[in-house]
Structure 1
């Protein structure tokens, strides 16, 4: 049994121009780096896995980049 807790920040921005991918805006990269440097390495329970990602996304028809902070909680089933 696994549970997922997800926090997401959206940064509106074009993601492509002329068929080429445009780099993420600086504020998205800063948010990802902030999470990687602080939240990602905080002390956690052994069954928790923390993940941080930056990826192109669409929200309400608007393109941009999403920074996601996820916690995957691995559990064991009991009989």
Structure 2
């Protein structure tokens, strides 16, 4: 009987999950040290920072893939 392959490979998502845990940990720490800032303002700033992190990660990943596929590609045919 043939071995079936999983539909999704979750090895690449582990970095994103670690980043999420880091941002959540930082948010919990910073929430305690926010001073007189209201909760809604703090959460809005945290949301903007998290969205910036996601956009940066996507941009870096896309740039890496483009460089790897197009600039560092060997022209040798096997």
Give the number of the structure whose alpha-carbon radius of gyration is greater: 2
> Which structure shows the bigger proportion of residues in strand conformation?
1
TM-score by length of 1: 0.33
> Which structure shows the bigger proportion of residues in helix conformation?
2
TM-score by length of 2: 0.33
The structure whose RCO (Cα within 8 Å, separation 6+) is larger is 1
